[in-house]
A = this chain, B = another copy of it.
Amino acid sequence: MRPKIYLLGDSITEESFTEAGWGASLANHFARILDVVLRGYSGYNTRWVLKVLEKLFPEASPQGGGAPVAAVTVFFGANDATLPDRYSAFQHVPLHEYKQNLHSIVSFFKKRWPKAIILLITLPPIDEVARLLYPFADNPQGLPERTNEAAGEYAKACTAVAAECGVPVIDLWTKMQQCPDWKKEYLSDGLHLTKQGNRVVYEEVVAKLRDEGVSVESMAAELPLIADIDPNNPLKAFE
């Protein structure tokens, strides 16, 4: 059976199959090799997703196959990092709990799928001015519900967890800010991704998976490719 990659995360994952989204691009890249399975939950933080991990990813029955899991991307932090005294406070998770929760999520997947690559992705940087232009709810305070400084703390925590657990990580917060025009180039509303921002995530995920041994080059395509079918005897390829 064809191996899978699960994409687990918040809205930045849930929206990853919109036009030129990073999830759709991954599915296209691995079209004959891996199934890319979307598990994005808009607005979710690490605290909430921990409550449902067992339900979302039940233990495979010993008899019944189920495709092997090649990788899972874990992309949380954007909601955990909402500030505790702003309008999105109900999504906030304190930094130390965020770290603990990420540890728990990694442990869960290590136990569930010992051979799977667990790839952490930090939240992107935040453009506070844009956040004021695109609030999700009434914002009587007139203050951004997320700041880039706080986001940086959550990104650091995420990379620290990856190091502590010995799993790969994409430090999107740092990577995106290497582009001088990151606010306009990569973010559509100060938080979610433009096409170019999606491109960055896609390319980083492909590169990290390749580093870990999962790539189009190293894995067999499902069924013979048209270029490998003998025009003089096509059915031979299917014997």
Contact = CB atoms under 8 A, between A and B. Distances in A.
Interface of A: 1, 14-15, 17-21, 23-25, 27-28, 31-32, 35, 37-38, 40-44, 47-48, 51-52, 56, 58, 60-61, 63-66, 90-91, 222-223, 225-226, 229, 231-232, 234-235, 237-238
B27 A14 contact: no
A15 B41 CA distance: 26
A14 B66 CA distance: 23
Question: Top 3 nearest A-B pairs by Cβ distance?
Answer: A64-B64, A43-B226, A24-B24
Given A31-B14, A41-B223, A64-B66, A234 B24 contact: no
Nearest to A225: B42
17 contacts: A14-B31, A14-B32, A19-B19, A19-B24, A24-B24, A31-B40, A43-B229, A44-B226, A47-B235, A48-B235, A48-B237, A51-B238, A56-B222, A56-B223, A64-B64, A66-B66, A90-B232
